Homo-oligomer: A and B are copies of this chain.
């Protein structure tokens, strides 16, 4: 596959904002041509799929409603957030779940990773399942507003089908959830399991 490869021959920072940090690199293609590649540098992020057991032994998922400015609307999504400097993926998952929803989880499982925009961002999102949830107090960042609610897996899947849920990471989470709950895909739980 060497004809597909691109080799960096130069690069410069495009700008550094409060959130966005962008670069333009110069690359050499396999045919010798030179091209520009612009992208956003991202520290990485996590998403948590928190599962609450209901009284019938079924599952309720902990979800959020949050206004997303580039979308100009409130979106339904699983708890998620960026890695702090030096933070590991699992620590970040625990922190974001606690800060955004108040829940702590007794069992965790790493499912996999996704890359939301392979054409213009280095962002990777690690996908964590969490269960054995113990409710606590939220600790939102200053100026952070989001509502926490629960829904059944059936309801979530219907929202994915009918266009109510369009957030890519949450769609990927639903894909994992569907295959975990059907038994098609297995998870390696940290303690006890779910």
Contacts and interface: CB of A to CB of B under 8 A. Distances in A.
Oligomer: number of copies: 2
Interface residues of A, number: 68
B27 A69 contact: yes
Interface in A140-194: 142-143, 145-147, 157, 160-161, 163, 166-169, 171-172, 174-175, 178-179, 185
Contacts of A120: 19-20, 40, 70
Given A17-B14, A40-B20, A166 B115 contact: yes
Contacts of A145: 3-4, 29-31
Interface stretch (A51-59, A71-79, A94-102, A131-139): A71-79
A146 B4 contact: yes
Nearest to A15: B15
10 contacts: A5-B67, A18-B38, A20-B38, A40-B120, A71-B122, A113-B163, A114-B167, A117-B123, A171-B172, A178-B179
Q: Which 8 A-B pairs have the closest CB atoms?
A: A175-B175, A68-B118, A39-B70, A37-B69, A168-B168, A19-B38, A4-B67, A116-B168
Interface of A: 1, 3-6, 14-15, 17-20, 22, 24-25, 27, 29-31, 33, 35-40, 65-71, 74-75, 77, 112-124, 142-143, 145-147, 157, 160-161, 163, 166-169, 171-172, 174-175, 178-179, 185
